[in-house]
Amino acid sequence: MKSMVLVLAATVAMAQSPVPRPAPEWKFVQNSGKATALSAYRGRVILLAFISTQCGHCQRASQVFEQLSHEFGTQLQVTEAAFDEGADVAAFGKRFGLTFPVSRCTGEEARAFLGIPANGRLGTPQVVVIDRAGVIRAQSERMGSPILQTPDYLRGLIKAVIQRGQK
């Protein structure tokens, strides 16, 4: 019985909110102090990534996201939130030539949005795809999902979410 309770406790501690689900409201605050609400992007598919500016995977994924933002134009809104302490998001965006918003947040804020327990470790980047109506349609697993960082897979996923919203 005790081992069953421990297994259940470990499963709950590692759980995250199921998909699909409504995206919680989120405010992106950039270095300039300008805040933009996630709901301001309704009507477009949103690719949101929670990143660490020091993470090599995040850096490469940001370049993929930039490419996709150009390919899909106004149908897709890409945005990132860096949760590493002391992140210089302006320098990060400039270094990688990012034209989409990059803001800062805390790890706790990222976990709350993702539906991950407060003490849960996160793999980076955490990628979320939200449909035009504000419903999360795809989300990285807690320790990361490398497939959600690849151009071909993301391109197909975004196309499917766009087409689903047009029916």
**Can you say how many angstroms the Cα of residue 15 is from the centroid of all Cα atoms in its chain?**
17
Mean pLDDT of 46-63: 96
DSSP state at residue 42: T
Calpha distance 78→100 (Å, rounded): 6
Token couple for 150? 């690849």
**31 confidence band (pLDDT: 50, 70, 90):** low
Beta bridge partners of 136: 21, 130
Structural element, H or E, at residue 103: strand 102-104
Structural element, H or E, at residue 82: strand 76-82
Give the pairing of strands 102-104 and 76-82. parallel
Calpha distance 124→158 (Å, rounded): 20
pTM for the model = 0.87
Mean pLDDT of 97-121: 92
Compare 131 and 8 and report the one with higher pLDDT.
131
Domain 25-166 superfamily per CATH: Glutaredoxin (3.40.30.10)
Sign (positive or negative) of CA dihedral 31, 35, 37, 43: negative
What is the model's pLDDT at position 43? 94
Q: Kindly report, residue by residue over 122-141, the tens digit of the pLDDT.
A: 889 999 999 999 999 999 99
Token couple for 21? 């689900």
**167 confidence band (pLDDT: 50, 70, 90):** low
